[in-house]
């Protein structure tokens, strides 16, 4: 395949057995060991054009990092990425912190960070000749897949848990996706997708190798927005963990390119819902892999993920960073959603609220210093979720 000018994508590497795979074909997990495949780039070639100055002058979207993204033809883009890094002085003061920030991913197309991953995944699917996509989703990924699928002219079959709120369904239907409701969790949706794919290409996160690449741009943006001096703490709401794994990969690539000093990465904090916390359980028990969570319950749809294919990558990133994994209750998330809304003017998704609730716990346990730069990831807008537990709406 002729590579588009700019992308230095070279091969896919299995994150477990290190086998190499060709980027000219569609792939899912490693066919030898079921490990997650990680895209690898020609970093020496990338370094010729990818530097602080060059990047600064490019378009305000995640495609400003195009050497380190997968594409051949023109990217399928709706302007995703380069979301604002906002100061959160009110919340900071209330927690005794001097330098608190919110990376506001709700300002992406379709209202969540899922846009980033779908832009790269749909771009590569189109480049590889795929015509029909299929995926399970908690809601936000489905809306994003529907949007990018529509733009690329690909069909999208979407499997959603039956309790997925109406706004997610409305959005995906309006964008032309075919919706299948499944009586169960996202894991049950995934099983149905695999059983019913029938030639359609499964773009489940991490089973498909390129959604990760879009999400890693959150890490590039953090570096750029902090003037190439990464913050001390990143707090991320973790379901499948693609964003966290992606940022960790981005930091690795930036270190290899000498764009950030090595060994000065943030502590990565994974926040999960108390009643769906497979990663936290494995973290606390010192395990490398997580067991499936039997009965996942939370109103934060994106955190209702009972098992993640990239569990070992999330756990490794959290541990290598010196971070922790912790839980918050649904009510703590809801209170934090309102605190963020009323304090900083951002109405976050419950998952965004979870990061603030998690930070509260870190502060209570003296696990962050007042002067540290701390970033909360508001991964989506609150507008697609019909309720905030405890909030009375007239
Ligand atoms: C708003 C929101 N935040 C966080 C997540 C979890 O994302 P990840 O799979 O990267 O852990 C999701 C996933 O659906 C989501 O929709
Ligand atoms: Zn392998």
pLDDT at residue 3 is higher than 80? no
Pairing of strands 20-22, 9-14: antiparallel
* Ligand 1 atom 13 nearest Cα: 302
Rounded to the nearest whole angstrom, what is the distance from the C-alpha of residue 35 to the centroid of ligand 2? 5
Instruction: Please list, in sequence order, all residues whose beta carbon lies within 8 angstroms of the beta carbon of residue 153, skipping any fewer than 6 positions away.
Output: none
Whether 266 and 329 map to the same domain: the answer is yes
Q: Are residues 161 and 228 in the same domain?
A: no
- DSSP code of residue 4: P
In a domain, 390, yes or no: no
Closest ligand to 137 CA?
1
Strand partners, 279: none
* Nearest ligand by distance to the CA of 37: 2
pLDDT of residue 4: 43
Q: What would the mean pLDDT of 91-98 be, rounded to a whole number?
A: 98
What's the rounded Cα separation, in Å, for the pair 276 and 297? 6
Task: Please tell me if the CB atom of residue 241 comes closer than 6 angstroms to any atom of ligand 1.
Answer: yes
Q: Considering the chain, what percentage of its residues have pLDDT values greater than 90?
A: 98
Are residue 223 and residue 357 in the same domain, yes or no? yes
Question: Do residue 247 and residue 103 come from a single domain?
Answer: yes
Q: What is the pLDDT of residue 1?
A: 42
d(CA 81, CA 359): 24
Of 311, 313, 312, 352, nearest in space to 335 by CA: 352
Same domain flag for 44 and 137: no
The pLDDT value recorded for residue 5 is 56
Question: Distances from the Cα of 74 to the Cαs of 65, 70, 210, 236, 265, in angstroms?
Answer: 14, 11, 16, 31, 32
Please identify, by atom number, the ligand 1 atom nearest to the C-alpha of residue 238: 11
Find out whether the beta carbon of 189 lies less than 6 Å from any atom of ligand 1.
no
Domain count, the chain: 3
Shared domain for 254 and 312, answered yes or no, is yes
How remote is the CA of residue 16 from the centroid of ligand 2, in Å? 5
CA of 344 relative to ligand 1 center, distance in Å? 22
Residue 231, in any domain of the structure: yes
Tokens of 23: 């980027």
Which parts of the chain fold into alpha helices (H)?
43-49, 52-56, 89-95, 114-127, 140-152, 166-174, 186-196, 211-225, 242-256, 278-284, 311-320, 330-344, 350-364
Of the residues 139, 171, 202, the one at which a domain ends: 202
Q: Tell me, using a 6 A CB cutoff, whether residue 240 lines ligand 1.
A: yes
Is 76 domain-assigned?
A: no
Q: Which two tokens stand for residue 111?
A: 């209202």
Residue 92 and residue 191 in one domain: no
For CA atoms 279, 285, 291, 293, the dihedral sign is negative
The CA distance from 241 to 228, in Å, is 24
Are 22 and 96 in a shared domain?
no
Whether residue 364 lies inside any domain: the answer is yes
> Do the domain assignments include residue 178?
yes
Domain for residue 1, yes or no? no
Q: Cα of 335 to ligand 2 centre, how many Å? A: 43
Calculate what percentage of the chain has a pLDDT beyond 70: 99
For 174, the domain range is 114-202
**CB atoms near residue 322 (< 10 Å):** 12
Please report the pLDDT score of residue 2 as a whole number: 41
CA distance 16 to 116: 25
340: CB partners within 8 A, 6+ apart: 88, 91, 102, 346, 347, 348, 352, 353, 356, 376, 378
Task: Decide if 2 is inside a domain.
Answer: no
Please list the residues that pair with 381 across neighbouring strands.
348
User: Which atom of ligand 1 is the closest one to the Cα of 350?
Assistant: 1
More reliable by pLDDT, 6 or 75: 75
Does ligand 1 have an atom closer than 6 angstroms to the CB of 235? no
Per-residue confidence (pLDDT) for residue 54, from 0 to 100 = 94
Domain-located, residue 73: no
Which class for 295: exposed (0-12), middle (13-18), buried (19 or more C-beta within 10 A)? Answer: exposed
CA of 57 to the centre of ligand 1 (A): 30
Q: What is the largest CA-CA distance in the chain?
A: 59
Same domain, 340 and 219: yes
156 and 266 co-located in one domain: no
Please state, in angstroms and rounded to a whole number, the distance separating the CA atoms of residues 90 and 92: 5
Tens-digit pLDDT profile for residues 29-41: 999 999 999 999 9
pLDDT surpasses 90 at 270:
yes
Tell me: do 246 and 181 sit in the same domain.
no
Give the domain CATH number at 304.
Answer: 3.40.50.1100
User: Whole-angstrom Cα distance, residue 337 to residue 357?
Assistant: 9
The pLDDT of residue 252 is above 50? yes
The pick from 203, 351, 355 for probing ligand 1's pocket by mutation, whose C-beta has the most ligand atoms within 8 angstroms, reads: 351
Q: What is the C-alpha to C-alpha distance for residues 271 and 280, in angstroms, rounded to an integer?
A: 8
Rounded distance between C-alpha atoms, residue 53 and residue 153, angstroms: 35
Binning pLDDT at 50, 70 and 90, where does residue 276 land?
very high
Same domain, 313 and 366: yes
């Amino acid at each position: 395949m002729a590579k588009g000018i700019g992308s230095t994508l070279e091969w896919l590497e299995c994150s477990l057995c290190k086998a190499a795979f060709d980027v000219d074909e569609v792939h899912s997990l490693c066919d030898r060991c079921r490990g997650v495949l990680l895209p690898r780039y020609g970093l020496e070639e990338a370094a010729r054009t990818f530097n602080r100055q060059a990047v600064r002058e490019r378009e305000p979207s995640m495609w400003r990092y195009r050497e380190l993204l997968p594409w051949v033809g023109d990217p399928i883009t709706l302007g995703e990425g380069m979301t604002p890094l906002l100061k959160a002085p009110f919340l900071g003061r209330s927690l005794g912190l001097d330098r608190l920030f919110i990376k506001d991913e709700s300002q992406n197309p379709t209202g969540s960070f899922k846009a980033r991953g779908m832009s790269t995944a749909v771009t590569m699917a189109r480049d590889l000749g795929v015509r029909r996509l299929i995926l399970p989703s908690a809601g936000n990924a489905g809306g994003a897949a529907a949007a990018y699928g529509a733009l690329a002219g690909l069909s999208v079959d979407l499997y959603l848990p039956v309790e997925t709120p109406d706004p997610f369904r409305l959005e995906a239907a309006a964008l032309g996706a075919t919706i299948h409701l499944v009586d169960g969790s996202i894991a049950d949706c995934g099983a149905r997708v695999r059983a019913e794919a029938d030639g359609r290409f499964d773009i489940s996160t991490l089973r498909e190798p390129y959604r990760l690449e879009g999400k890693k741009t959150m890490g590039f943006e953090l570096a750029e927005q902090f003037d190439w001096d990464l913050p001390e703490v990143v707090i991320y709401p973790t379901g499948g963990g693609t964003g966290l794994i992606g940022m960790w990969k981005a930091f690795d690539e930036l270190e290899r390119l000498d764009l950030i000093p090595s060994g000065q990465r943030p502590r990565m904090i994974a926040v999960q819902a108390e009643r769906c916390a497979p990663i936290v359980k494995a973290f606390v028990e010192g395990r490398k892999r997580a067991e499936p969570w039997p009965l996942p319950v939370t109103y934060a749809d994106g955190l209702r993920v009972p098992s993640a294919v990239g569990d070992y990558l999330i756990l490794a990133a959290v541990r290598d960073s010196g971070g922790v994994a912790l839980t918050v209750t649904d009510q703590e998330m809801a209170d934090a959603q309102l605190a963020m809304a009323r304090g900083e003017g951002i109405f976050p998704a419950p998952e965004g609220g979870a990061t603030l609730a998690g930070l509260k716990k870190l502060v209570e346990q003296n696990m962050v210093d007042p002067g540290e730069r701390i970033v909360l990831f508001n991964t989506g807008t609150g507008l697609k979720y019909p309720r905030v537990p405890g909030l009375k709406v007239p």
